[in-house]
A and B are shown apart, each in its own frame.
Chain A
Amino acid sequence: MGDSVAETTLPEVDEHPVQQDRSEKDTLLDARGLTKRFGDILANDRVDLIINKGEIHALLGENGAGKSTLVKMFYGSLEPDDGEILWGDRKVTIGNPAAARELGIGMVFQHFSLFEALNVVENIALALPNPGNMQDLAKRIETVSRDYGLPLNPDDIVADLPVGIRQRIEIVRCLLQEPRLIIMDEPTSVLTPQEADQLFLTLQRLAKEGCAVLYISHRLEEVKRICHHATILRHGQVVRECDPTLETPASLASMMVGADVAAVSAGEQAPEIGETRLALQGLNAKAATPFATALNNISLELRAGEVVAIAGVAGNGQGELFDAISGEMPAAASMIHLDGRPCGNKNINWRRKQNAAFVPEERLGHGAVPGMKLSQNIVLTRHGTGDKLVGAGFVSNAEASVLEKRIKQAFDVRMSHDDPEARSLSGGNLQKFVVGRELDRNPGILVVNQPTWGVDAGAAALIRQALIDLARSGSAVLVISQDLDEIFEIADRIAVISRGFLSEAEPATDMTRERVGLLMAGGAETQGEVA
């Protein structure tokens, strides 16, 4: 399926950047004592940070450590309460993003701000202060994007482009303004491994030219691989600075968390192949909206005792597949079987009563109601599963609080006071809660989309271990994830979804990252054309 792509060999990424002596380099940005407070929370507490010219500088920290707050102050979208920023040797006040761009600070966001109905050149023109003639701009875009190894066709409509190309547009938009510092927020979370390699080459070239990169990522492997220097934030303070090339991902993780992160163990024994618990047979679904993905003839068998992972780049049909399996999107009865019973046309509660459980990707607003207490959010998915939560139409708050306490304890959900509203929990804690809510039922079949998305290392390890333990106890676990590290850590078999097609699930031991990456890119024809 991806053989033609396999032949395009990429240049080797320079695995060991030469460590520079920081004191001798030119300082580009010097932040001193930056402090930002939101109500009672000190998001940044006297943060000092020096970024040198030509340096790829990693900014590490768990969710909520204050990374976003810090870069927003550099980019002018937040105003520091205290402290100062030196740009070169001049003190500056960055009042808004336009002022930041004028200084030469560009930012590539995690969530793109592109108009899907417009083409590449129109999108870029919208963001430039003086776009000038559109034809000239199109030429400049072609030249710059080719020079930096991120080729773009200026006439392509954004809606038709895969996520990796969309990110290129954002990067090229930055480059056209000749930045001296580029801030990148989790740039590789939407890329295949091959696309990420391409991005690293671009970043290394930028760095050679003297442009600095402030690089935010949760992927410690890649930080070690391309970054020259790392600053680690915890609870809004700088706790460490280090040279990531001299560290291991595990040591970086423990610096972020402030404690050793437990390694996930898949158990000694290979899973015994049990009976089939979830079967997808020729699952088809039309795209519900112009921007949704159709599912094409998807087949998969999930057996008792195993964890099967579905890898793929965001937006390739993962959400649609989840909705079809959970019953939020109806299908033909014979397309989905739970423990041998056809159920493609049954609703989500019928499937829950068959001992299936579901954890969607979006925790707030899909997996949980933001303004409701945790105990009420337990009723949300368990009102029909015989947990005594509902009797004669009445909801038992007492039973719900018993469950809430049990889940809180078992999954270490931290909260400021008992039974708070779901919205007040941090992302990681809420994720522990929504996963815990389903695991607490000890389901026979668990389907979970992005189990540890945006979750800190400690919580992620806890959740992954719980998923493996559930499978080893005889349940079938289907994990949809975009995190390859996670997939290789927990999966017994791996399938890849691309443009609504699912590859054969193959044993994880036979899979390599390269192979998964090629399968991910398998359906992305446009990518091959541009490159």
Chain B
Amino acid sequence: MRIELVKRKEHSRTMALLSPLIAVALTALSAAILFSITGHNPLIGLYKFFIEPLTQQWSLEATIDKATPLILIGCGLAVCYLSNNWNIGAEGQFVVGALFGSALPILFPSFENVITLPLMLLFGAIGGALWALIPALLKTRFNTNEILTSLMLVYVAGLLLDYLVRGPWRDPDGYNFPESRIFSDAATLPEVFGGAMSLSAPITIIIAIVLAIVLAKTLKGFEIRVMGESPRAGSFAGFSAKRLTLFSFAIAGALAGLAGTMEVSGALNQLLPSISPGYGFTAIIVAFLGRLNPIGIIIAGFVLALSYIGGEGVQSAMGVSNEIASVIQGLLLFFVLACDTLILYRIRMVSRRVPTGETSHV
């Protein structure tokens, strides 16, 4: 018996829908095995991890809070990945966006009026886009590998944040704690739906829907998809690969930067040495689990947000290390990419008839 992958003539629509579900199922199965080898009841573990966060008001709200930046960053990354630009540095773009967005309330705390918040969001988007354009320019001008450069800039951005929060942007009234001043009300993202969620959630959903339409219906979306699948055909269509690289990095950086600003302006209300539990990296998984489709990414964002809340849940309830969340996220990405193979290939079991090469050696 051996297993063969047989290429399909066309992409399977069924599998395109099923593959993320199969990946989630396999991840749950692996998680169950992990729970049992660490001496825990796998069923209770899975329940605490995947289900319980959905049963309570507070954890549901926390899930939405976590899902929001994941979805927004994931949407931007989808534009990059669809066009074959491997932006791995959304975490850095998120941080630099947060820095640009925070500049206004930190440096000009008395500038308080209705345009404070829109300006912050705009600056945040610009900051993220500029940071993302660095690897894009390096790629288009010098042919560098954007995976490496975008990733390395994550650490540069992290150190920049650390320096600012401990140095020039430290709260003068903050007893030397490494934190910025607390943002004024005018610089704080309001809550909506009776406090159930921050304004960032509806903004994110609207952006995702607009992006879904752009990708599916417009010539720009067509260009992005063509370039991702077949750059030579893209240039035959008259599209410029370099311009699209700059465009897609700028979009991804802007959305990550916007997410960063909304995070500090809404959830945290100040700058801290660490403002992200790895949203920029987890969003890579979100983008792929959502099949690089903004609507799919909304769903995928919730699934991954659950893993943060669920990780804390199993830690407090069962004493399992919080690292389990990262392990499960990693497994999920692994299974998503593996299951994507099934969209263009199908599995066939082959039983060997005769051992080959035997008679030919006579």
Contacts and interface: CB of A to CB of B under 8 A. Distances in A.
A366 B235 CA distance: 8
Interface string B1-44: 00000100111000000000000000000000000000000000
Nearest to B237: A380
A38 B357 contact: no
Nearest to B236: A366
Given A371-B11, A393-B218, A395-B222, A93 B235 contact: no
Given A102-B361, A365-B233, A424 B226 contact: no
Given A91-B359, A347-B238, A394-B218, A421 B6 contact: no
A103 B360 contact: yes
Nearest to B357: A95
Contacts of B221: 395
Contact of B360 (A99, A347, A365, A393): A99
Contact of B10 (A91, A99, A424): A424
B356 A383 contact: no
10 closest A-B pairs (Cβ-Cβ)? A95-B356, A95-B357, A349-B238, A424-B9, A99-B360, A421-B10, A369-B230, A380-B237, A348-B238, A366-B232
Contacts of B206: none
Contacts of B237: 348-349, 380-381, 383
B217 A394 contact: yes
B211 to A, nearest CB: 14
A326 B222 contact: no
Contacts of A371: 11, 229
B238 A99 contact: no
Contact of B11 (A381, A384, A421): A421
Interface string B76-100: 0000000000000000000000000
B173 interface: no
A349 B234 CA distance: 12
Given A93-B354, A95-B360, A368-B233, 5 more contacts: A352-B238, A358-B236, A366-B233, A394-B217, A395-B218
Contacts of B230: 365-366, 369-370
15 contacts: A38-B6, A92-B359, A92-B360, A93-B356, A96-B357, A99-B356, A99-B360, A328-B236, A358-B236, A366-B233, A380-B233, A393-B218, A421-B10, A421-B11, A423-B10
Interface residues of B, number: 28
Contacts of B356: 79, 93-96, 99
Contacts of B359: 90-93
Nearest to A363: B233
B360 A93 contact: yes
A99 B356 CA distance: 9
Contact of B222 (A327, A365, A379): A379
Interface of B: 6, 9-11, 217-222, 225-226, 229-230, 232-233, 235-238, 354, 356-362
B6 A39 contact: yes
B217 A384 contact: no
A317 interface: no
Contacts of B10: 420-421, 423-424
A493 B10 CA distance: 41
Query: Which of B229, B233, B359 is the most central at the interface, judged by chain A CB atoms within 10 Å of its CB?
Result: B233
A91 B356 CA distance: 12
A326 B356 CA distance: 51
Contacts of A94: 356-357, 360
Contacts of A420: 9-10
Central interface residue in A99, A100, A327, A352, by most chain B CB within 10 Å: A99
Interface in A36-60: 38-39
Contacts of A349: 237-238
A233 B219 CA distance: 44
A474 interface: no
Interface in A357-386: 358, 360, 362, 365-372, 376, 379-381, 383-384
A380 B231 CA distance: 12
A323 to B, nearest CB: 9
B217 A395 contact: yes
A381 B235 CA distance: 10
A390 interface: yes
A94 B219 CA distance: 52
Contacts of A93: 354, 356-360
B356 to A, nearest CB: 3
Given A394-B219, A395-B222, A423-B9, A367 B360 contact: no
